[in-house]
Structure 1
């Protein structure tokens, strides 16, 4: 894929000047879709997300859940896209909530976003370290601790995050195409070799309501993580008023349809009535076991390599998202001003990138020093925590869209669907999903009802919002100049 190469400037910006221009606009719809879909990691979902949702929830309607959530997020995207045509900033949720609900809730949303995206990104390192170390041991006999692999990965992601966005787009494009082709090959082989024939039962009401339906919605929601991140690159788009909306719609539809088909194919390949048992027995290896039976050992080995690159792509995409939140908050001096610096040559939010790299290193070091299992704790705890945070942000953003357009009257070019009907439906539907997520969080973590973790981890998300809002209220009285900048982006 050809990517436009902007001219390189020789001067390096080393201060967070309020009037400093944002990163250059060089990204189109295709670039943004690559970032968004790469964050959802198709092969990672096929190997981890789908088998895990089947095994834990016992719900055979997982393919239907993907379609229902995709439809829900398309509705959400109507109001989200309308906001993106009026507000362009690297803060995304933070900026939208600030403009819609006010600066104090906006800072609360920013803190929730920082917790959610950092948790998701660092959590994925657990799966990356476990998978890569296991592969190296099985294929080459290299007994390398998982945390050593993770530290190498953190270094590579940090380097790419420091460099300009064009390089990252190329890397993600290659990795995404490779893993998507792998998933499509698996889907085709599963349908053609179906031991019990192809059944449409996974799309029925009975299948949807079997098992723990609420937990199933929560699991599947995690697969959509990152779909909303198109707005994070608003200042780097060639035409943000069109690019963000189109990228978001395309990404939601691609993710929803692809994963619904893949879940259906996996169940078909295992036998619809046997799929839950197969997922419980094989876990993340189910896609490789089925692939080896249907295609051969060569596919299984290749798919495992592509799973590692899939995880790397997701790590890189979430790293970029976190760096841009740091950049936005630093530029407006809500967080230390240094985080708002951009590199003069690469145009990357390099200080925010370095901060995220250091944070990931520190969290992984703590888990490693305590001897924690990278899958059962680092991956499982933090990715579910991240998903819960994003669900809350979706609800807040839907309410912000309603409030914004109510204050600004009948916005030119925006239908009542975009500014009223869709946000109401999205707020109610996603609010219901959030309540289910909190109630079923013990199922998500695989702990019993008496475990304190089922409340401690959700409290981190809600607590971040409370602390952020309190900090925003403090800024209103103690630092009114900073308070006035909140959510206002490059114009602040």
Structure 2
């Protein structure tokens, strides 16, 4: 490994445009994974045929959040996303705490996906009468591939993710069209968006599982140093990511309501949750035939792979930025001489993930409920805390008069985002056992981890240099 010895003097660089960054972020959102996993949960445990509205509400909350986030971007001229924004807006101590929360949240969701993809590959192999192999074996194979791609220049990852994402979205669009063209006896109904329908059941649970589908969307700012014309690229990529992800989810979930019928989606989702079927794959089989089902199954695996690769890249860059600020060993801020990537940080991230996955495997934790469910729960709480704190930081930054701008973008939108995210945090915490699938005691412990990280980071770390992002 050849990395620059002047770790603190080099920055990452690249030529990523809005499209390349959006690929990275939408891939992290794993659209097909969300449709296969979050949709049945939102319908079966939430508000049934009204679930599409949960995804619309989640997208609107994040779109409002993005207004302040984007408005503050010119005053945070370096990568680091939430950490950098909070440091500028609320000071070093809170910034340190948020840095820990970010690492916890992203590491948790990445480990969760490793558990999920290990299970999914084994399930696919056995479906075609292949041998039963323990899920950790598949997880470590995927981890090794991610390690190679993450070590190299970011544009290689972007190309791989671009191909995987294009195929993933393509098959879902085809499925959506076929489902709407072949509706249930109820016809092409818009009842999902009728207040009488989407307020029936528990709308909050639908919003909760919709929010988990957006984890990683703010990573547009993490790739700042590798973006072409970041002042223009980052805002465009952020808005595009939220709108594309939100529209994709809402339309696809609505198409399932049309295909199955408003009066049948809840029962179908409940069967999936009970292990008596697979809402996504069974519907794909009915609409696209056996070959279509097989294609969706394969693309579900590529969706999971794209997701875990994206999170690997995001974590490696978080570590890179934190090391450059003295919060982590300086070696993590090294840039590879040939690949111009945070190579050493990438290797450390690979080792960290391997150790955690290995420990969970040795303990015999179930890959879905135990690994994916619990880790997704931690990540969801962490991400809402990150966005809430960032919105408060944006509001504080502009209220102190450190910069000026339109009232809507500098004050009203950030204030509305704070209210929306406080409501979202309440929804997540009050329904947390549904996210983790564990007991109230276990769920409480898991939910507390991001908050403990926030406090520990703020109190324990003593940086040797200023955390404030440079404006030079």
Relative to structure 1, is the Cα distance of residues 60 and 195 closer, same or farther in structure 2, using a 3 angstrom cutoff? closer
CA deviation vs aligned residue, 1:395-432 (integer Å, no higher than 9, x gap): 10111111112234443xx3221111110000111111
Q: Indicate which of 213, 217, 228 corresponds to 2:218.
A: 228
- The aligned counterpart of 1:93 is 82
Residue 142 of structure 1: CA displacement?
A: 2.5
Task: Give me the whole-angstrom Cα distance separating, in 1, the residues matched to 2:459 and 2:203.
Answer: 35
Whole-angstrom CA distance in 1 between matches of 2:225 and 2:120: 35
SS in 2 for 1:333: coil
SS at the partner of 2:357? helix
Partner of 1:384: 377
Q: Distance in 1 between matches of 2:139 and 2:102?
A: 23
In 1, the alpha carbon distance for the partners of 2:142 and 2:431 equals: 32
Among 435, 438, 451, the residue aligned to 2:426: 435
Alpha-carbon offset, residue 490 of structure 1: 8.8
Give the counterpart of 1:445 among 433, 436, 439: 436
Corresponding position of 2:263: 273
SS, match of residue 232 in structure 1: coil
Residue 5 of structure 1 corresponds to which residue in structure 2?
none
Q: 1:273 deviation in Å?
A: 1.0
Say if 2:10 and 2:335, in contact at 8 Å, map to a contact too: no
Distance in 2 between residues matched to 1:56 and 1:127, nearest whole Å = 21
Alpha-carbon displacement from aligned partner over 1:325-366 (angstroms, at most 9, x marks no partner): 110111111111111111111111112211211111111111
1:354-392 deviation digits (Å, cap 9, x = unpaired): 121111111111111111110011011101211211111
Matches within 5 A, 1:400-419: 400-411=393-404, 414-419=405-410
Give the Cα separation in 2 of the matches to 1:201 and 1:36: 31
- The separation in 2 between residues aligned to 1:460 and 1:312, in whole angstroms, is 26
Q: Distance in 1 between matches of 2:129 and 2:141?
A: 18
1:209-232 deviation per Cα after TM superposition (whole angstroms, max 9, x unaligned): 222322222111011111111000
With the length of structure 1 as denominator, give the TM-score of the two structures.
0.92
**Equivalent residue, structure 1, for 2:29:** 40
In 2 relative to 1, CA 282–442 (structure 1 residues): closer, same or farther, beyond 3 Å?
closer
Instruction: Please show how residues 286-301 of structure 1 align to structure 2 within 5 Å.
Output: 286-301=279-294
Give, in angstroms, the shift of residue 208 of structure 1: 2.5
Q: Do 2:317 and 2:345's aligned partners in 1 also have CA atoms closer than 8 Å?
A: yes
Match among 105, 128, 139 for residue 150 of structure 1: 139
Paired residue for 1:119?
108
Distance 1:54 1:416 in 2: 38
1:31 aligned to 2:20?
Answer: yes
1:178: which partner in 2? 167
**Aligned equivalent of 1:331:** 324
Asked if the contact 1:215–1:444 (Cα under 8 Å) also holds between the matched residues in 2, the reply is: no
**1:426 aligned onto 2:414:** no
C-alpha distance after superposition, 1:2-59 (max 9, x if no partner): xxxxxxxxx94342532x2211131111110100100111111111111122123244
Does the CA-based 8 Å contact 1:39-1:315 persist in structure 2? yes
User: Hey, what's the Cα distance between the residues in 2 that align with 1:396 and 1:90?
Assistant: 17
Contact 1:84 1:240 in 2 (8 A): no
In the comparison of the two structures, how many residue pairs are matched? Answer: 468
> After the TM superposition, which residues 289-368 of structure 1 pair with which residues of structure 2 at under 5 Å, given as runs?
289-368=282-361
Q: CA deviation at 1:435?
A: 1.6
Matches of 1:46 and 1:418 in 2, distance apart?
32
Q: 1:386 to 1:16 in 2, by over 3 A?
A: farther
1:180 is displaced (CA, Å) by 0.0
Q: Is the 8 A contact 2:63 2:242 kept in 1?
A: yes
- Residue 457 (1) aligns with residue 438 (2): no
Task: List, as ranges, runs of 4+ consecutive aligned residues in structure 1 with deviation greater than 4 Å.
Answer: none
Q: 1:312 to 1:336 in 2, by over 3 A?
A: same
Aligned to 1:168: 157
Cα distance between partner residues in 2 of 1:195 and 1:384: 34
Which residue is 2:209 aligned to? 219
Find the counterpart in structure 1 of residue 253 from structure 2.
263
Deviation at 1:94, TM superposition (A): 0.2
* Distance in 2 of aligned mates of 1:439 and 1:60: 22
Separation of aligned partners in 1, 2:104 and 2:438: 22
Give me the TM-score of the superposition, normalised by structure 2. Answer: 0.96
Q: CA deviation at 1:487?
A: 4.0
Report the Cα offset of residue 489 of structure 1: 5.5
Gaps of 5+ in 1: 1-10
